[in-house]
Structure 1
């Protein structure tokens, strides 16, 4: 982790959708108290149980939120450029319920929680934006937990990559490119399966042309084909006949 020069803070604030619409005076107040920090891939930003002392926004890179338990890890969410991270804990003045880890080289804009909450009181539009974002993420997490119990692993992995394509995909002649690096272990943690299962599915998809894995990127040649996989649900057993009873 390293600190960055203070001259970069105004540009970082202007790049944040939730901050750039604030009045100039409010932005200047943030400039005076905000800091920038750099993290490398795998660096821990905070641990489960740490006090939520800063509003954290992503200037560059991506952050994964990981829940540890039962000897396994589960990635609850991935946040990208322009998004706030851990904001629920900040708003509720609580400790972080999960660990935040840099998924790649990442730059964060950090604002002390107390100053940020004072700012929210003066500018309610900030709170409305965050509530909308938190609601969307809560619904996504709820759906993910339901899928982890009822959908086949292959369908869950397909839904993961379709979701990433929708959020950060870049369309081109060869299909939709997802410009991010994910290990097989991270894919497994995102969908709640074993790394062996993730390897089997992704290897087969590579042979079948469903998903192409490149250097720090994935390419989906046809989102329609992947949607068909994501739509698969477990088949129910046929009803028992009289002879079976």
Structure 2
């Protein structure tokens, strides 16, 4: 619980009080944690593994909207059971602690720090949704792909002796396309250019950032006259 973005604010004593409300669960690669449209009845506090969060588009396509790892929270962030908007799939052996919405309602009234943490996470989800929409309408494909890779590096990056940063998560091209709100073809072209420029290296389901500052520079607005 000390790693979870929801419960890390609690003291060791408070975590022990919370422990009876939690149920340990595990999944193998490919198993669903949550289906969109279902009412999971609570949230999953991820303890280990990687989880692909997906959403169905109006056209019936499934896109990746997030990759979650230890410390992340999966499911509707509410103190009453809500319908899940997104599905979540284990990318590898994954373990979580399940916290029922009713239990969350009870403990937020007892632990003010947890109530603030819940509010913060709700605000972060709204902000991320707004940022995705703004980026989709104003940013270039390369900017969006670079932003997605940098965000993944913050969460899953491992520094290597040669100065590069390996993303320790299995990434399909359609994962990157979904995170960047673009098509697989456009994401592949953007990554091919980044690879030619020497900013990244990649292979089957892996990506390494060689020049993160160059990717960050793509996020900066162009100077007037350029």
Indicate the TM-score class for this superposition, using the shorter chain for normalisation. 0.7 to 0.9
SS at match of 1:76: strand
Of 180, 185, 202, 1:213 maps to: 202
Of 168, 172, 183, 1:183 maps to: 172
TM-score (norm 2): 0.85
Query: Using the alignment, how far apart are the partners of 1:23 and 1:48 within structure 2?
Result: 33
How far apart are 1:147 and its partner, in Å? 1.0
* Bigger proportion of residues as helix: 1
Tell me, yes or no, if the aligned pair for 1:52 and 1:113 is still in contact at 8 Å.
Answer: no
Q: Which consecutive residues of structure 2, in runs of 5 or more, have no partner in the other structure?
A: none
Match of 1:50 in 2: 38
RMSD of aligned residue pairs (Cα, Å): 2.6
Match of 1:39 in 2: 27
Deviations 1:49-90 (A, max 9, x none): 1113122100012223221021222323232211222242x3
Aligned residues: 222
Match of 1:124 in 2: 112
TM-score (norm 1): 0.79
SS at match of 1:145: helix
How far apart are 1:176 and its partner, in Å? 2.2
How far apart are 1:225 and its partner, in Å? 1.0
Deviations 1:128-182 (A, max 9, x none): 0121122123212211111112222111101111122233323343222221111
Match of 2:54 in 1: 66
Q: Which consecutive residues of structure 1, in runs of 5 or more, have no partner in the other structure?
A: 1-12, 236-245
SS at match of 2:190: helix
Tell me, yes or no, if the aligned pair for 2:76 and 2:82 is still in contact at 8 Å.
Answer: no
How far apart are 1:109 and its partner, in Å? 1.0
Of 96, 111, 115, 2:103 maps to: 115
Cα distance change on mapping 1:188 and 1:111 into 2, 3 Å: same
Of 155, 158, 162, 2:143 maps to: 155
Match of 2:128 in 1: 140
After TM superposition, the structure 1 stretch with the greater mean CA deviation from structure 2, 169-178 or 187-196, is: 169-178
Tell me, yes or no, if the aligned pair for 2:54 and 2:87 is still in contact at 8 Å.
Answer: yes
